[in-house]
Amino acid sequence: MKFFKSYINNGFINNIIWSIVGHGGTIFINFFTNILFARLLTPEDFGMVAVLAMLVSIGSVLCDCGLSGALVRKKNAGEVEYATVLAVNVRVALAIQILLLVFSPFYGSLYGKADMKYLINASGVVILLQSFYLTINVHQIKELQFQKRAYERLIAALLASVIAIVFALAVGGIWSVITYMIANPMFLIINHIIKKENKITIRYSHKAFQELYPFGVNTTFSSLLIALYENIFQFVMARYFSFVQVGYYYQAKKLQDVPCNLINMLTQNVFYARLSRIQDDMNKFITLFTRVLDHTTLLLGFLSTFLFINAEFVIVTLFGEKWEGSVYYIKLLTIGSFFLYIDLIIRLVFKIYDKTRILLNVEIAKKIFQGVMILIAIMQKNIELLIMAIIVNNLLGATVNLILARKILDHNLNHIFFFTGKVILFSSMLIALFTLMGMQNIINNKAYQLACIPALCGFYFIFSKNIKTSSYEFDQ
């Protein structure tokens, strides 16, 4: 009880709540907008959107250069550091925009769709707008301004969604999705300009850059490798299979990302900022870190089991029968994401204690393995191997990083291995049970869905008892 009181007294729970409201609200606005898009557009259209999303994702990582994380970690970051990071972000974004303008015709011909060059150029505009907002976002996170950040993100997402939906209903087509991608960061920037708060200028300081860059370079390459390999499946599927399969995969990934992005948001924003502040007290750090990891593992197990069991029902209900091809992908992606988001929390140890070089080496090894799997899948034209590569790679990454984190913290973390194993075992038993009952027609579809709720609630209750309560208190 004292542990939770200390959370509240320090505003930790308050920050979590506002992060969930802001980021979670944005996710659900995007989610319902995507449902409408899914019913208006075809899987092939979404296949093209997936390719553009890949460019935006990689471009955003390059723009950030890992400097955002360096700013959050730096205890006394001032105006010079913020101005330098903004200058670097914008310069890199402009360079990317020029490259996209030059190579967009080639990119379009690669896929046999000439009109893709215009869409690719539009993705460059999205990257440029996001580069202006990156530093504003970092400042709000570092200063724990999660309430203000929540309001701004919700308003921007809502306005962008309304405009995109009106465009989709009036004109239709893939450009309605592009409209949303551009409008969202644009409204965030406009809001900041109107309020004139936390004014950050564009001014480059080589000294400030040199201080931030050593941390940023390793996390950049690590994040870039993750972004490349998370999105390379869309590229490979579009190039060697079909845009329709890319559309199925992309829609499944977006659905699976709804709950997982909430967890990722808490990990990279609230937990990272909070753990960074107590990094000098190892006992407090390990206590909070293990509790965060335990609760996240439990929540991921709950969500993954529910989504795996109800995949077909959820896909057809939300998007319609034309999207049944996404069911296979959502089931496998759910398994892969379980290990991925556990790994993201473990990676915080490396970032906070400036062991990013180790993190980079692990990512390189993982991606070499994944690259081999992708080549084998291309040669055999086996799309299942592409997805299996995600699951195996995420599992290996989480396991290896946890072993290395034990050495960094100089603490026995075997509890995490055992607890995660229990969650996996119980989830597997529930999935097997419900699958068997469905195959034997023991329960009909409606009862099948209703039976999941008490079973999974029981899952949460049983395993929540395994999480030990700590008596550590946190200072202001």
pLDDT of residue 387: 79
Q: Residue 476 has what pLDDT?
A: 38
* Chain centre distance of CA 182: 19
Per-residue pLDDT band at 1 (split at 50, 70, 90): very low
Q: Is the pLDDT of residue 475 over 60?
A: no
Residue from 137, 187, 136 nearest 161 by CA: 187
State pLDDT tens for residues 46-65: 888 887 888 888 888 887 77
pLDDT value of residue 7: 44
Bigger pLDDT: 204 vs 349: 349
- Please give the structure tokens belonging to residue 22: 């802001």
- Distance CA(448)–CA(437), nearest Å, equals 9
Residue 172 DSSP SS3: coil
Give the tens place of pLDDT for each residue, 277-313.
788 888 888 888 888 888 888 888 888 888 888 888 8
Alpha carbon distance 348, 49 (integer Å) = 31
| Angle formed by the axes of helices 445-464 and 414-439, nearest 10° | 160
- What's the pLDDT score for residue 469? 39
Judged by DSSP in three states, 319 sits in helix
Three-state SS across 198-236? CCCCCCCCHHHHHHHHHHHHHHHHHHHHHHHHHHHHHHH
> What percent of the chain has pLDDT above 70?
77
Asked if residue 473 has pLDDT above 50, the reply is no
- Least-confidence region, from 7-16, 51-60, 180-189, 462-471: 462-471
Closest CA to 250 of 456, 5, 476, 41: 41
Whole-angstrom distance, CA of residue 300 vs CA of residue 342: 8
Q: What is the average pLDDT across 337-354?
A: 84
Q: Could you identify the residue written with the tokens 């203000």?
A: 148
Contact 256, 307 (CB under 8 A): yes
Give dist(CA 99, CA 155) in Å, integer. Answer: 32
How do residues 69-124 score in pLDDT, each as one tens digit? 777 766 676 677 778 878 888 888 888 888 888 887 777 676 667 677 788 888 88
Quick check: 97 and 128 in contact, CB under 8 A? yes
Measured between alpha carbons, how far is 280 from 257 in angstroms, rounded to an integer? 34
| pLDDT of 259 strictly over 80 | no
Measured CA to CA, the distance from residue 262 to residue 265 in angstroms comes to: 5
Give pLDDT, residue 366: 82
Query: Which tens digits make up the pLDDT trace of 350-364?
Result: 888 878 788 878 878
What integer pLDDT is reported at residue 360 of this predicted model? 77
Instruction: List the domain boundaries for the chain.
Output: 1-12+241-476, 41-218
Cα(294)–Cα(458) distance, rounded to whole angstroms?
Answer: 17
User: Any idea which of 37-51, 141-155, 166-180, 440-454 has the lowest mean pLDDT?
Assistant: 440-454
What pLDDT shows up at residue 5?
Answer: 47
- Residue-level pLDDT at 77: 67
Q: Tell me the per-residue pLDDT of 377-414, one tens digit each, with 9 for 90 and over.
A: 778 777 777 778 888 888 888 888 888 888 888 777 77
Give CA–CA dist 220/13, Å, rounded: 30
pLDDT computed for residue 290 by the predictor: 84
Cα 202 to Cα 88, 140, 318, 357, distances in angstroms: 9, 18, 44, 29
Task: Write out pLDDT tens, residues 165-186.
Answer: 888 888 777 888 888 889 988 8
> What pLDDT does residue 114 have?
65
Q: How far apart are CA 335 and CA 357, in angstroms?
A: 28
pLDDT at 35: 87
What is the rounded distance in angstroms from the CA atom of residue 395 to the CA atom of residue 320?
A: 32
- Pinpoint the alpha helices (H) of 65-145: 67-73, 79-110, 116-142
Integer angstrom CA distances of residue 278 from 286, 406, 432: 10, 18, 42
Residue 449: pLDDT band (50, 70, 90) is: low
Q: Does residue 327 surpass a pLDDT of 80?
A: yes
pLDDT mean across residues, the chain: 77
pLDDT for position 458: 66
The answer to whether 240 and 381 have CB atoms below 8 angstroms apart is yes
389-392 long-range contacts (CB < 8 A, ≥24 apart) are: 390/233, 390/332, 390/333, 390/336, 391/332, 391/335, 391/336, 391/339
Nearest CA to 133 among 177, 74, 93, 73? 93
pLDDT for 4 beyond 70: no
Tens of pLDDT, residues 413-441: 777 888 888 888 888 887 887 777 665 45
Distance between terminal CA atoms of the chain?
18
Q: What is the pLDDT of residue 471?
A: 35
Q: What predicted TM-score, i.e. pTM, was given to this entire model?
A: 0.69
The alpha carbon torsion through 393, 398, 404, 407 (nearest 10 deg) reads -170
pLDDT for the residue numbered 451: 57
pLDDT of residue 274: 76
Please say whether the beta carbons of 414 and 422 come within 8 A: no
Residue ranges of the alpha helices (H) in 310-413?
A: 311-319, 327-352, 356-380, 383-409
Q: Who has greater pLDDT, 16 or 277? A: 277
Mean pLDDT of 150-169: 87
Range of weakest confidence among 151-165, 182-196, 391-405: 182-196
Q: What is the mean pLDDT of residues 329-336?
A: 87
Token pair of 134, please? 């990156």
pLDDT at residue 411, rounded to an integer: 78
Of 316 and 261, more confident:
316
